[in-house]
Amino acid sequence: MPYTPIVATLGYVLSPDGRDVLMVHRNARPEDHQLGKYNGLGGKLEPYEDVVAGMRREIHEEAGIDCEELKLRGTISWPGFGKHGEDWLGFVFVVTRFSGTPFASNPEGTLEWVPLDRLDELPMWEGDRNFLPLVFDEDPRAFHGVMPYRDGRMVSWAYSRV
């Protein structure tokens, strides 16, 4: 059976000094299956949109800022991750330069600047703790991972870098 995931972007916007990252605290919708968790910004790719254009659009829609410089840090395949067991494939970016002032919140929740060294203290998807160090490390190579989920829980994590 062919793998036909939902294709998405996930972006982490760094503050101008590079010490903080803009996160969304998913606290706005009681029916949100990510309620209470912190996450980067992003979402589903639109038809006829490349991943960079999709990342820029999502950051603009969710935070009100424009990406001026971004870097692909990796890709992650999330089989079974969706609310109803859908497969997802994400392109993970770091935004190192932007223009504008971020919104205080969006329809998903509050936007917060979080110190990079305090990310591990936040409630988030358990799987995020596995790949976030790769997003922010000094290794210039992209990572490519697979993180299967079953019943809302991460089953395993594996990645390679090239």
Q: How far apart are the C-alpha atoms of 22 and 41, rounded to whole Å?
A: 8
Q: How far apart are the C-alpha atoms of 57 and 160, rounded to whole Å?
A: 28
* pTM, rounded to two decimals: 0.95
Domains of the chain, each with CATH number or no CATH: 6-161 (3.90.79.10)
> φ and ψ at 105, to 5 degrees?
-160, 170
Query: Are 91 and 55 spatial neighbours (Cβ–Cβ below 8 Å)?
Result: yes
pLDDT of the residue at 83: 83
pLDDT of the residue at 82: 87
Provide the H-helix boundaries in 12-50.
Answer: none
pLDDT of the residue at 59: 98
Query: Are 109 and 24 spatial neighbours (Cβ–Cβ below 8 Å)?
Result: yes
Helix, strand, coil: what percent of the chain each, to 5? 15, 40, 40
Q: How far apart are the C-alpha atoms of 69 and 57, rounded to whole Å?
A: 14
Give the model confidence (pLDDT) of 53-78 as tens digits: 999 999 999 999 999 999 999 999 99
Residue 142's CB is within 10 A of a number of other CB atoms, namely 17
pLDDT of the residue at 120: 92
CA 159 from chain centre, in angstroms, equals 17
Stretches in the chain below the pLDDT threshold 70: none
